[in-house]
Each structure stands twice: as C-alpha cells, then as structure tokens.
Copies of this chain bind each other. A is one copy, B any other.
C-alpha cells in the first residue's frame, strides 16, 4: 500500500469539525500534501484550506482523494458516490478509513476498473504477512505505548519523528492505524490483521534499515486494555523497540470503552511493557512519558508532569504544548 500524494481532503457533509478529525489530523502533520478540501452542501466543518472542485484539484496535480470524514456506522452514504466516481474519472485514486469498503459500491468499483485507479480501504487489510520471527534486525526503533487507548500514541510518534528530522537524523513514522496511514502514505492497520500475524505485520512495517535510522512506530491499545492487549503485545514483540515512550491521559479514571476498568499505574505499565518487550529486544527501556494535558490548567499540567518526572526519573512532557525535545534527548543519549 502506497498512497500517492498530494491529497484532496473530502469531508462531505460532516456535521461538525470533530466528524472531520481524520482530515484535520492529516492536515496537522502533512500540510504540504493537502492541496484542498472538498465539501458537500450542508457541511459544517471547515479545514481552512482552499475548497477545490474535482476539476480544480486535478489541475493542481492531486493524486488521491482521501475520505477524511467519519460517521456513525462507518458507511459511505449514497450522496458521496458521485464525487468519488468523479475523482476516479479524473484519474485520482481514492482512500478511505471507513468500515464500508469502497469496492463494495458497484459504481465506485466500476469507475476504478474503468480508469485503472486504486481504491485503498485502510481499515481493511488484504495483505498477506509472514508470522513474526523475533529475529533482531538492524536499525533503531522507538515505539509509543499507552496506559489506555486514545492516549496520544500517534501524535507522540509523529512529534518524535519531526524532532528527529529537525535534528538532521534519519527517521520514519510507521503507521499502524487508519489516520496514521493517511499521514504517512503507507502502513498497516494492525488491529485489522488476522491474529496469527500481528507481530509479523509489525516486523513488516519496520523492516531492517540503516544502523543510524530511526523507525518511530505508532502504538495501539494498551497491555492493560482488556479488549486490545493482544494487539499491543504483538506490536511490541514485532517492533522489537530499543526504547518506548509511555503515553498517558491524566484525567481519565476508567479505560476507554470499559467503565469497570481502572487506568493502570504509570510505573506498573512501563514495567509490564519492558518485561514483555525483552523477549525480542533485551535492551528495551523507557525514555519518557508523554502526557495529554489538554484538560488541565497550565499550572496543574506543569505540576503533574514535574511530579511524574521526579517520581519516575524520566522526562515527562506534553508533546502538543511543549514538544518532545527532552524525550528525544533521552532517547539519543541512551540508545
């Protein structure tokens, strides 16, 4: 899977900005790849980039229409089909992270065939992987892990990639989820892989590389999330990270989607990841804690992160508010 850029971001008739968060996530990290937005009548979201028709987008060289909007059920409503077909007829590929597969819509499948274009359904996985082998491979790897789902693992990984590149180092963000795949143009939705191949997919995502090259791998779930820990463990084993960064949302009291489960202790969560990760990389260690402090007042945020840092002896930052400099310092000093 290699999604061609630049992109036109389709946000359809999104009822608010939140419904367009896939598109805004791409825009946050890959502004240069996004030439415009496409909105249908009734759209209440605005990405604040130029509105382009399909013809205008084609003119500007857009290669892929990205369906950057989510809705309940993950379906592709009938009123989107005309635009999708028009994009295919204009020579673009189309990529979607929705549950409905693009190719399951006859008019879309037919237009793709007619124009020899590709349809990318990044939530579905059609690749065949080998099972994971656990064999040490060259290159350096850092994996973002979490106390819970949706704790900032993608954002933190992207911030680390950006910081490494800013320092002139070789680094690639490795996507394991839908939005991440749009942001990197490639990757595998690891949670959609058949269970036997989780670690194998993670090995495929972050293959052998130069000894001084960093793969910055987007984590998924949490070893302490009763729904998804198997995915997290396979990803930990397949990534064989030299270092992990623990991501945490400090105001959450129960695990996402599991109202009866409490959030694990930070140190216990780090310890479990280290203990299990040693299987494929005995040198694994934690280089920092990334905290989403958006729900704390600025002073409380500083206070919280300072306390974590003293208690755990690790850099602790909010990657959005303050960047990941101290974590990357520690990463480079210890790996």
Mark A residues whose CB is within 8 Å of B: 131-135, 190-196, 198-200, 223-224, 226-235, 237-238, 257-258, 260-261, 272, 275-276, 279-280
A196–B230 alpha-carbon span in the complex (Å): 8
Instruction: State whether A194 touches B193 (Cβ < 8 A).
Output: yes
Known A-B contacts A257-B131, A275-B272; the reply to A230 vs B191 at CB < 8 A is: no
Determine the chain B residues whose CB is within 8 A of the CB of A192 once the complex forms: 194-196
Contact of A229 among B133, B237, B258 (CB under 8 A): B237
Question: Is there an interface contact between A276 and B223, defined as CB atoms closer than 8 Å?
Answer: yes
- Residue from the list B135, B198, B229 in contact with A199, Cβ < 8 A: B229
Instruction: State the 7 A-B residue pairs at the shortest beta-carbon distance, nearest first.
Output: A134-B226, A230-B234, A230-B230, A131-B227, A191-B196, A198-B230, A132-B227
CB pairs A–B below 8 angstroms (14 shown):
A133-B227, A134-B261, A190-B195, A191-B194, A192-B195, A195-B198, A196-B231, A199-B228, A223-B233, A226-B237, A226-B280, A229-B237, A229-B276, A261-B279
Q: Are A195 and B230 in contact (CB under 8 A)?
A: yes
- How many copies of the chain does the oligomer comprise? 2
Whether A230 contacts B194 by the Cβ 8 Å rule is no
A230 in complex: contacting residue of B133, B226, B233, CB < 8 Å? B233
Cβ of A135 and Cβ of B260 under 8 Å apart?
yes
Cβ–Cβ < 8 Å partners of A238 in chain B: 226
A53-B260 Cα distance, complex, nearest whole Å? 56
Q: What is the CA–CA distance of A238 and B226 in the complex, to the nearest angstrom?
A: 7
| Residues of chain B contacted by A276 (CB below 8 angstroms) | 223, 229, 272, 276
* Besides the known contacts A191-B194, A199-B227, A199-B229, 9 further A-B residue pairs in the complex with CB atoms under 8 A apart: A134-B227, A134-B261, A194-B195, A195-B231, A230-B231, A230-B235, A230-B237, A233-B233, A261-B279
A228 to B132, CA, bound (A): 8
> In the complex, what residue of chain B is closest to A124 when comparing beta carbons?
B194
| Docked CA distance A131–B200 (Å) | 22
Interface centre among A195, A196, A235 (most CB of B within 10 A): A195
Q: In the complex, what residues of B have CB within 8 A of residue A227's CB?
A: 131-134, 196, 199-200
Interchain CA distance A232-B279 in the complex, whole Å = 14
A170 to B190, CA, bound (A): 39
